[in-house]
Chains A and B, each alone.
Chain A
Amino acid sequence: MANLNGRARRKNTYDAIVVGSGITGGIAAKELTQKGLKVLVLERGRMVRHLEDYPTAVLDPWQTKYPQGQLPQAELAAHYPVQRRTNYTMTEYTQHFFVRDDENPYSEESRFDWIRGYHVGGRSLTWGRQSYRHSPIDFEANGREGIGVDWPIRYEDLAPWYEHVERFIGVSGQREGLAHFPDGHYQPPMEMNCVEKAFKAKSEARFPERRVSIGRAAHLTEPTEEQLSLGRTKCQFRNMCIRGCPFGGYYSSNSGGLVAAERTGNMVIRPNSIVTELIYDEKAGKATGVRILDAETKKDEEFYADVVFLCASAFNSTWIMMNSTSSRFPNGFGNASDQLGRNVMDHHLGVGATGEAPEFADMYYSGRRPNGIYVPRFRNLGDAATKRSDYLRGFGYQGGAYRAGWDRDLGNRAQGAKGFGAGRKAALSQPGPWTMGLGGFGEILPYEDNRITLNRDVKDAFGLPTLTFNVTIRENEIAMRRDMQNAAAEMLEAAGFKNVQGKDGGYAPGLGIHEMGTARMGRDPKTSVLNAHNQVHECKNVYVTDGAAMTSASCVNPSLTYMALTARAADHAVKARKRGDL
Chain B
Amino acid sequence: MLNRRDAIRGLALAVGVGASGWAERALAAAAPAPALTWTPTALTQDQARLLDVVAELIIPATDSPGARAAGVPQFIDRAVGDYYEKSQVEQLLAGLARMDADARAAHGDAFVALAPEHQVALLTTYDQQAGVARGQNQSHFFTALEDMVTVGYFTSEAGATMALRYDPVPGAYHGCVPLSEVGRAWATR
Contact = CB atoms under 8 A, between A and B. Distances in A.
Partners in one complex: yes
Interface of A: 58, 60-62, 64-68, 70, 72-73, 190-194, 196-197, 236-239, 361-369, 402-403, 405-407, 409-412, 414-422, 424-426, 428-432
A197 B57 CA distance: 41
A193 B150 contact: no
B187 A237 contact: no
Nearest to A427: B185
Contacts of B137: 412
B168 A60 contact: yes
Given A237-B171, A425-B62, A431 B120 contact: no
Contact of A364 (B58, B60, B178): B178
Contacts of B173: 190-191, 237, 365-369
Given A236-B171, A425-B60, A366 B182 contact: yes
Interface of A is mostly: loop
Contact of A407 (B150, B171, B179): B150
Contact of A363 (B62, B120, B146, B177): B177
Given A363-B176, A367-B167, A418-B130, 15 more contacts: A58-B2, A67-B152, A197-B176, A361-B179, A367-B174, A402-B189, A407-B154, A409-B150, A412-B137, A415-B131, A416-B134, A417-B127, A420-B57, A420-B58, A430-B179
A191 B174 contact: yes
A421 B120 contact: yes
Given A428-B150, A429-B164, A430-B184, A364 B177 contact: yes
**Residue of A64, A406, A418 with highest tally of chain B CB at under 10 A:** A406
A8 to B, nearest CB: 48
A413 to B, nearest CB: 8
B47 interface: no
B82 A405 contact: no
Contact of A62 (B57, B130, B157, B182): B157
A68 B151 contact: yes
Contacts, number: 178
Closest 3 CB pairs of A and B: A367-B173, A367-B170, A417-B131
Interface in B1-24: 1-2
Nearest to B123: A420
Contact of B171 (A62, A239, A367): A367
A411 B171 contact: no
B121 interface: no
Contact of B59 (A364, A405, A425): A425
B79 interface: yes
Contacts of B139: 412
Interface in B134-165: 134-135, 137, 139, 143, 146-148, 150-152, 154-157, 160, 163-164
A406 B180 contact: no
Nearest to B26: A422
B116 to A, nearest CB: 11
Interface residues of B, number: 60
A379 B85 CA distance: 46
Interface of B: 1-2, 57-60, 62, 64, 75, 79, 82-83, 85, 120, 123, 127-128, 130-131, 134-135, 137, 139, 143, 146-148, 150-152, 154-157, 160, 163-164, 166-182, 184-189
B134 A366 contact: no
Contact of A68 (B155, B167, B169, B176): B155
B39 to A, nearest CB: 19
A373 to B, nearest CB: 11
Contacts of A421: 57-60, 120
Contacts of A363: 176-179
B146 to A, nearest CB: 6
B164 A406 contact: yes
Contacts of B58: 420-421, 424
Contacts of B2: 58, 60
Contacts of A72: 82-83
26 contacts: A58-B2, A60-B166, A61-B160, A67-B75, A67-B79, A67-B152, A67-B155, A72-B82, A192-B175, A236-B169, A236-B171, A238-B170, A239-B188, A239-B189, A365-B173, A366-B174, A366-B181, A412-B134, A414-B131, A415-B134, A417-B128, A417-B131, A420-B146, A421-B120, A425-B163, A429-B64
A120 to B, nearest CB: 25
Contact of A418 (B85, B127, B180, B181): B127
A89 B129 CA distance: 36
A290 to B, nearest CB: 42
B174 A431 contact: no
A430 B147 contact: no
A239 B186 CA distance: 13
A406 B187 contact: yes
A61 B189 contact: no
Contacts of A419: 127
A429 B163 contact: yes
Contact of B131 (A60, A190, A402, A416): A416
A236 B83 CA distance: 32
**Residue of A64, A367, A424 with highest tally of chain B CB at under 10 A:** A367
A64 B151 CA distance: 13
B146 A418 contact: yes
Contacts of B182: 364, 366
Nearest to A410: B147
Given A406-B187, A420-B127, A422-B60, A428 B175 contact: no
Contact of B151 (A58, A67, A238, A239): A67
